[in-house]
Amino acid sequence: MDSSEAIFKGLKDAGIDFIVSVPCANLKKLLIMIDEDDTITHIPVSREEEGLGICAGAYMAGKKTGILMQNSGLGNCVNALCSLYELYSFPLVMIMSHRGTEGESIIGQVPMGKATPDILKAINLEYVKPESIKEAYETVKNSWTKTTKDKKAFSILLEIPYWKLKED
């Protein structure tokens, strides 16, 4: 099992059946797996806050929702997280390719990479940064239970070194 397969298997085992996504090179393989799975509805979106609105509606229609995105899009959806999601206690699994961390080749990604954990803390959202395939799988597998219990979004930050991991 590689890094993408661990996330996919975790999503399946969590029962997440509705995913929106904004493209990211690190998420490419995972997005292909999701597209090929008939039990998961996948809606590509152009902006993260658009995806949060769609996920809110899908959740109210009985779906278990998640968003796949780069951490650079976190700034685009802070208002939706602080108003819509916090106000109505909607659950959501946020899986973020955490760009701007160790090994980043694009200097423009670094400032938001550094700011991402502080932004999540500032809006009172818990996050996890798995460092192994097993930890990532377990975190994603348990993510829907966690987000529904806590009644707020839950973030999983997957840093650049994570995507290079092979089976534990």
Tell me the pLDDT tens digit for each residue of 2-45. Answer: 999 999 999 999 999 999 999 999 999 999 999 999 999 999 99
Mean residue pLDDT of the chain comes to 95
- Express each pLDDT in 98-109 by its tens digit: 998 888 888 989
Is residue 94 assigned to a domain?
yes
What is the phi-psi region of residue 51: left when phi exceeds 0, alpha when psi lies from -120 to 50, beta otherwise?
A: alpha
Residue 168 lies in a domain: no
Whether the model clears a pTM of 0.75, i.e. scores above it, the answer is: yes
Angle at 104 between CA 73 and CA 134, to 5 degrees: 80
The answer to which of 33-47, 57-71, 95-109, 122-136 has the lowest mean pLDDT is 95-109
**What is the number of structural domains in the chain?**
1
Which domain range does residue 77 map to? 3-163
Residue 149 has what pLDDT? 98
pLDDT bracket for residue 69 (50, 70, 90): very high
CA distances to 60, 98, 136 from 161, rounded to whole Å, are 36, 10, 13
User: 141, 165, 154, 159: which is closest to 55 by C-alpha?
Assistant: 154
Q: How much is the pLDDT for 168?
A: 52
Q: Please report, for the domain that includes residue 8, its CATH number.
A: 3.40.50.970
Q: Are 130 and 156 in contact (CB under 8 A)?
A: yes
Distance between CA atoms of residues 26 and 165, nearest Å: 12
Residue 23 and residue 25: Cα distance in Å, rounded? 7
